Amino acid sequence: MAEINPNWARWINASLAMYFKAVADALSPALPLIVEGIDERDAVKMENDHAELRLTGPFIRQPSKGDFILDVDTNILLTDLMEGESENTYNLTTWAGYFQQAAEKSINVYRYGPDTGGVDDSSWVGCLSVRTRKVGPNLYHFGQISTTDRVRQAAVDTKHRMYLTVSE
């Protein structure tokens, strides 16, 4: 019976981080992206507008010999430090729209990593897609998160799935 590859989680995490970093970098101005569990939460990043990528999974099932279903939940928390009347009040919603658009697309997973043992050769592994077309990337507006801090937040939440077939 084919086994779970212990590298799948790393490859998925690294691929999603690179994919969503490109989305954050393409915004004008670019929005720093903090990857949960990878990047440090230093003051420079946290005291500015930023996005945080959080991943849950993969949740792995094997419905038949050699076939695997990998489910991953992605959550992008967007933080807008309200800068007064000169700021575009729609910044947060605009950023969210770009991340929703990106999350709706198929996302390629590559063998990214530190190349220990020669398995991280950047070759293609598979493709993550939104799990169901009935419910695509969801946008949650949290608004101003306290009465004293001028900080607004929103999150884009998506459930992705990848099918893999592994030979013995």
Give the pLDDT confidence score for residue 45 in this predicted structure.
Answer: 67
Give the pLDDT confidence score for residue 46 in this predicted structure.
Answer: 67
Give the pLDDT confidence score for residue 161 in this predicted structure.
Answer: 96
Give the pLDDT confidence score for residue 132 in this predicted structure.
Answer: 76
Decide if 67 is inside a domain.
Answer: yes
Decide if 106 is inside a domain.
Answer: yes
**For the chain, what is the total number of helices (H) and then of strands (E)?**
3, 7
Q: How many domains is the chain built from? A: 1
What string of pLDDT tens digits covers the 168 residues of the chain? 579 999 999 999 999 999 999 999 999 889 999 999 888 777 666 678 899 999 999 999 999 999 999 999 999 999 988 775 556 778 899 999 999 999 999 999 999 988 777 888 889 999 999 987 667 788 888 766 666 667 889 999 999 999 999 986
Give the pLDDT confidence score for residue 146 in this predicted structure.
Answer: 65
The dihedral built from the CA positions of residue 74, 59, 119 and 66, taken in this order, carries a sign that is negative
Decide if 2 is inside a domain.
Answer: no
Q: Which of 76, 100, 80, 75 is nearest to 92 (CA)?
A: 80
> How many other C-beta atoms can be found within 10 angstroms of the C-beta atom of residue 4?
14
* Full domain range(s) for residue 137: 8-165
CA atoms within 13 A on the CB side of 98: 19
CATH code where residue 101 lies? 3.30.2000.20
Separation CA 34–CA 31 (nearest Å): 10
User: Which residues are CB-neighbours of 117 under 8 A, at least 6 positions away?
Assistant: none
> How many other C-beta atoms can be found within 10 angstroms of the C-beta atom of residue 128?
27
Decide if 3 is inside a domain.
Answer: no
Decide if 1 is inside a domain.
Answer: no
Decide if 144 is inside a domain.
Answer: yes
pTM of the entire predicted model = 0.90
83 secondary structure, DSSP code:
-
Decide if 62 is inside a domain.
Answer: yes
From its phi and psi, is residue 118 left (phi > 0), alpha (psi between -120 and 50) or beta?
left
8 Å CB contact between 53 and 111? no
Decide if 127 is inside a domain.
Answer: yes
